């Protein structure tokens, strides 16, 4: 049993991979408390920081429906959060020995929606709503939300494509975007999907999806429609519709506010208590969000998305290789479009890797490719021991005695294949040929199975000659099965690289190479985006859409930045009395704004503090990707 000075520990209530929960008594005044301690005896600095953040969030939330934090105590080599004990039991525990009838469910659900609304008003996203984190006192019937261990105070968070075993949260209740495989940022609406999965469990005594394999469960969340509670167990149809609205795959199709959820649940309870039944009514009549968020949908790219999906499916079914070349101006949405493949890749258990070439690293051979395959090796290291063993045998067979050549540029490979003998020193030309040949064998090792490999390389206009030659070889020879190569480049800058232009012309002669060009958005697409953001009719948003198009030339990134600036300047604001977004076109027209995207970003950077600008400058020296540990080291 754990020992925390000043507290008498009574019993262990729960344990997870990260923490242990105990019921205890404070010695000073005999107050009953809950102690949450980190599981590891010697936690890492990152784990301690995360624990301190959780305490910080809880200590600033003065909400009746959130568990209260009394203090943060030292505990030998770690920390313990002291929480109130209000004699509650998690809904997960309740579900083991009882079910909730409809009126009980509605009363409980209204409490949870009310609390979630207050949490979101503090700009906090919980990210782990599930029956284990909702606690009910059986005597007072009070409900509280607990465990803010992975909660964030960001308005948006961009998840990464990773192994399902490494995801933060509880996979059975996790939103599609939180899996990192939906090409969508996470915002407060991820909690609504998890709430829908929780409601489903309470009403049906089962989960929306019951797959045991993590990757299959991820695929269910992003691509399969759950059987409605009404169809599954005969739950009232209106209540069932509320749950299914919460479980929508796209955040834009869910409720947009916890207030809207609460209003519909209260209408259901009112009808049930007054007439004994719940009639059908339009959902979301009071569902208008006062939070400004940019939509995650992709507008005006339906044809391009279908082309992308079709190419992937051809590769998966035929086992051949194909290539897609994607051209467009900066900010037009090339990377966002390619990430639409995440769902397809998950379905077929493929791998997606990405690298980016840097303008000032033109003389570094294979820099984008090495970055991409570093990401792939890191993905492999998160798989099961059996899978890693299989990859070890595959890579050793492919590389022979030349494994150290790859380890020198991708050190993580050594964690899979072990230490390798150092090869003989060769003259520069022969050494380059050896590396080229070994790197080819390394890549081929990943295209020999039946799992498709998608390689996305961005900013090809800055790629080095060695990379361009290797890419051309991939596409023109049949030795790379199950490979889909996607290369994006800025067509406005290819004239500066004669070598790239020549390789591009050669690639266009190959039948398996397809070209896509992304154009700016038109008025229809811009207006559709504004309708989503401002939750209004097309006629009302159209004048603002016309002005936005005029200011941004239809560049999606520029549009987002433009609208964000308008909101920050309160030129777009929510009127709580009228429950709608408002703006003044003449005021927006009069504002002096930068004319180009580059000027826009520069202007935003110059508004940051001097220290922040310095840190960003150092980060830029590392490259397009960096980790906090490296950044902290060079900042000292």
- 184-208 pLDDT per residue, tens: 778 899 999 999 999 999 999 999 9
Burial 112-135 (b: 16+ CB within 10 A, else e): bbbbbbbbbeeebbbbbbbbbbbb
CB 191, CB 118: distance < 8 Å: no
Topology annotation, domain 302-516 = Rossmann fold (3.40.50)
Give 515's strand partners: 325
- CA dist 10 and 13 (Å) reads 10
- Provide the percentage of residues in the chain whose pLDDT is more than 70: 96
**Over residues 117-127, mean pLDDT:** 92
Instruction: Give the DSSP H or E segment for 454.
Output: strand 453-458
**Over residues 227-248, mean pLDDT:** 96
CB 472, CB 506: distance < 8 Å: yes
- CA dist 142 and 84 (Å) reads 14
> Residue 174 — very low, low, confident or very high, per pLDDT cuts 50/70/90?
very high
- 């050190």: which residue's tokens? 411
CB count, 10 Å around CB of 340? 17
> Residue 502 — very low, low, confident or very high, per pLDDT cuts 50/70/90?
confident
Residues in the chain: 636
- In degrees and rounded to multiples of 5, residue 320 shows phi and psi of -85, 180
Out of 14-18, 315-319, 542-546, least confident range: 14-18
Distance of CA 48 to the CA centre of its chain: 23
The DSSP string of 499-556 is HHHHHHHHHTTSTTEEEEEPPPP-HHHHHHHHHHHHT--HHHHHHHHHHHHHHHTT-H
**Over residues 150-160, mean pLDDT:** 71
Domain ranges of the chain: 7-84, 92-275, 302-516, 523-593
Mean pLDDT for all residues in the chain: 87
As to burial, measured by CB atoms within 10 angstroms (0-12 exposed, 13-18 middle, 19+ buried), residue 411 is: exposed
Q: What is the DSSP letter of 125?
A: B
Give the CA radius of gyration of the chain. Answer: 27
| Range 14-21 contact pairs with CB under 8 angstroms and sequence separation of 24 or more | 14/90, 14/132, 15/39, 18/47, 18/149, 19/149
Q: What is the DSSP letter of 443?
A: H
Q: Which CATH superfamily is domain 92-275 in?
A: Transferase(Phosphotransferase) domain 1 (1.10.510.10)
**Over residues 102-119, mean pLDDT:** 96
pLDDT of res. 218: 85
pLDDT above 70 (res 167): no
Which option is the CATH number for 7-84: 3.40.309.10, 3.30.200.20, 3.30.160.150, 3.40.50.970? 3.30.200.20
Across 10-24, 80-94, 485-499, which has the greatest mean pLDDT?
Answer: 80-94
216 vs 119 pLDDT, higher one: 119
Burial 554-564 (b: 16+ CB within 10 A, else e): bbbbbbbbbbe
pLDDT of res. 78: 84
As to burial, measured by CB atoms within 10 angstroms (0-12 exposed, 13-18 middle, 19+ buried), residue 636 is: exposed
- 């980190």: which residue's tokens? 38
Across 156-170, 305-319, 478-492, which has the greatest mean pLDDT?
Answer: 305-319
As to burial, measured by CB atoms within 10 angstroms (0-12 exposed, 13-18 middle, 19+ buried), residue 81 is: buried
pLDDT tens digits, 17-73:
788 899 999 999 999 999 999 888 788 888 888 889 999 999 999 999 999 999 998
As to burial, measured by CB atoms within 10 angstroms (0-12 exposed, 13-18 middle, 19+ buried), residue 318 is: exposed
């Amino acid at each position: 049993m754990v020992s925390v000075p000043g507290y008498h520990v009574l019993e262990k209530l729960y344990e997870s991979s990260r923490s242990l929960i105990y019921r205890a008594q404070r010695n000073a005044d005999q107050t009953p408390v809950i102690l949450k301690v980190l599981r590891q005896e010697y936690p890492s600095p990152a784990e301690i920081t995360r624990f301190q953040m959780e305490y910080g969030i809880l200590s600033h939330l003065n909400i009746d429906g959130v568990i209260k934090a009394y203090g943060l105590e030292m505990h030998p080599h770690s920390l313990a959060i002291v929480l109130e004990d209000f004699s509650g039991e998690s809904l997960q525990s309740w579900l083991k020995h009882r079910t909730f009838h409809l009126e009980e469910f509605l009363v409980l659900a209204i409490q949870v929606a009310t609390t979630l609304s207050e949490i979101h008003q503090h700009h906090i996203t919980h990210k782990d709503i599930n029956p284990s984190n909702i606690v009910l006192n059986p005597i007072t019937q009070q409900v509280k939300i607990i465990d803010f261990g992975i909660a964030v105070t960001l308005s948006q968070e961009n998840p990464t494509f990773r192994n399902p075993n490494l995801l933060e949260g509880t996979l059975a209740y996790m939103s599609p975007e939180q899996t990192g495989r939906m090409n969508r940022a996470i915002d407060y609406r991820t909690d609504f999907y998890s709430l829908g999965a929780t409601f489903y469990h309470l009403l049906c005594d089962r989960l929306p999806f019951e797959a045991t394999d993590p990757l299959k469960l991820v695929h269910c969340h992003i691509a399969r429609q759950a059987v409605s509670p009404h169809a599954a167990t005969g739950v009232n149809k209106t209540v069932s519709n509320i749950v299914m609205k919460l479980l929508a795959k796209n955040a834009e199709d869910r409720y947009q506010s916890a207030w809207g959820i609460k209003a519909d649940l209260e209408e259901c309870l009112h009808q049930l208590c007054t007439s004994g039944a719940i009639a059908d009514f339009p959902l979301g009549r009071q569902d208008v969000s006062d939070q400004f968020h940019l939509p995650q949908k992709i507008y005006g790219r339906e044809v391009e998305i279908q082309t992308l999906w079709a190419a992937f499916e051809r590769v998966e079914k035929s086992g051949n290789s194909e290539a897609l070349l994607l051209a467009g101006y900066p900010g037009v949405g090339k990377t966002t479009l390619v990430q639409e493949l995440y769902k397809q890749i998950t379905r077929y258990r493929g791998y997606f890797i990405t690298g980016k070439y840097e303008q000032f690293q033109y003389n570094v051979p294979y820099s984008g490719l090495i970055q991409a395959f570093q990401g792939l090796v890191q993905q492999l290291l998160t798989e099961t021991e059996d899978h890693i063993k299989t990859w070890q045998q595959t890579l050793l067979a492919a590389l022979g005695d030349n494994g150290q050549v790859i380890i020198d540029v991708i050190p993580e490979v050594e964690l899979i294949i072990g230490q390798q003998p150092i090869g003989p020193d060769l003259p520069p030309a022969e050494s380059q040929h050896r590396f080229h040949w070994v790197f080819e064998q390394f890549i081929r090792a990943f295209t020999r199975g039946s799992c498709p490999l998608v390689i996305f390389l961005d900013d090809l206009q800055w790629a080095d000659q060695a990379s361009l030659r290797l890419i051309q070889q991939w596409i023109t020879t049949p030795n790379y099965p199950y490979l889909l190569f996607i290369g994006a480049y800025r067509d406005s800058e290819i004239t500066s690289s004669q070598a790239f232009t020549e390789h591009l012309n050669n690639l266009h002669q190959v039948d398996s190479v397809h070209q896509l060009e992304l154009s700016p958005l038109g008025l229809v697409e811009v207006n559709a985006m504004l309708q989503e953001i401002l939750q209004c009719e097309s006629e009302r948003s159209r004048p603002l859409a016309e002005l936005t198009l005029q200011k941004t030339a239809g560049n999606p990134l520029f549009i987002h930045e433009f609208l964000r600036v308008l909101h920050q300047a309160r030129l777009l604001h929510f009127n709580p009395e009228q429950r709608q977004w408002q703006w003044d076109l003449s005021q927006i027209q009069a504002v002096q704004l930068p004319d180009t995207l580059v000027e826009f970003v520069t202007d935003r950077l110059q508004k940051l503090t001097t220290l922040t600008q310095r840190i960003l400058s150092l980060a830029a020296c590392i490259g397009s990707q960096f980790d906090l540990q490296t950044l902290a080291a060079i900042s000292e």
